[in-house]
Amino acid sequence: MSTPLTTMLENQLTTTWGITNSYSDAPMLMSGYTGRLWLYDSHPQFWSKHQVWEWLQQVMDMYQIDASTIPFQHFDMDGHQLCSLTYQDFNRAAGSMGPTLFHSITELKLGGPCHVEIGQQDLKPELDFSCPYPNISSASEENCDYVIHPLPPAASPAPSRPGPRGTHLWEFIRDILLTPERNPGLIKWEDRTAGVFRFLKSEAVAQLWGRKKNNSSMTYEKLSRAMRYYYKREILERVDGRRLVYKFGRNAKGWKESEK
């Protein structure tokens, strides 16, 4: 058979994610330097847009912060553009993660860990979720149907977490789907009303799930086994013939637009 449209997403993180990284053991105090990842083998100026996103994901991983807390759409650019962003640009685009990201990219631009002087450069990003992303006034963004909401308005003064994600796997998946602004192309609805969805970055989702469970060795292989157990419980329905595609079943609640 002719190979179906194997999207460009296919060259996802397969290589890097598979690696059993060292950040598993401790939330270490990393000063921006990680290990050897592809990031360190190529100049950020030449990154593709996809690589920019991978970099984002990896920096977030380093600090054990849910990557979906920063709006990836604000980094819809290639490496060249990324490198031309200023410190302020990073702050505008990534809120409290701005300084950290800026520091990371600066190091990478210079070819390795080094000192960067930008005021109070706190390497440990303090998780300030109260107002993750200040308004971004992008004048030339009319045709973008993404309206970026600052997310759950944090009604109470209490520091409400970026997003309460269900404790169970299916809830975790559901919640990623339900917050597209914070879903950097990980999973996508195939049929919103029918509850059919597809993994775009299966390994990335597995990593995210693993981080939630504090298990750095999670893989899609294992995650999918858990997904298959849901068939019997009718939390998921089989969608055969279609790889990486699942469908919510009668016992999965809270995913419908109406009951949202």
Which residues bind to DNA, rule: CB under 7 A? 14, 167-170, 202-203, 209, 213, 215, 217-218, 220-226, 228-229, 231, 233, 238, 240-245
Q: Please write down the HEC assignment for all residues of 35-68.
A: CCCHHHHCCHHHCCHHHHHHHHHHHHHHCCCCHH
Smallest distance from DNA to CB 11, Å: 10
Closest separation between CB of residue 144 and DNA, Å?
29
User: What is Dmax (Cα atoms) for the chain?
Assistant: 59
Minimum CB distance to DNA smaller for 92 or for 174: 174
Task: For the CB of residue 112, give the shortest distance to DNA in the complex, in Å.
Answer: 30
Question: How many helices and strands (H and E) does the chain possess?
Answer: 8, 4
- In the bound state with DNA, the residue whose beta carbon lies nearer, of 238 and 253, is 238
Shortest Å distance, C-beta 247 to DNA: 11
Cβ nearer to DNA, comparing 153 with 241: 241
Q: What is the CB-side half-sphere exposure of residue 41 using CA atoms within 13 A? A: 6
Residue among 43 and 242 whose Cβ is closer to DNA? 242
Residue 223 C-alpha from the chain's centroid: 17
Nearer to DNA, 4 or 157 (CB): 4
As given in the structure block, the two tokens for residue 196 are 């059919």
Element (H, E) at 245: strand 245-248
What minimum distance in Å lies between the beta carbon of 25 and DNA? 13
Least CB distance to DNA at residue 119 (A): 39
Residue 1 or 155 having the CB closest to DNA: 1
The full DSSP string for 157-204 is: SS---S----SSHHHHHHHHHH-GGG--SSEEEEETTTTEEEESSHHH
- The rounded Cα 73 to chain-centroid distance in angstroms is 11
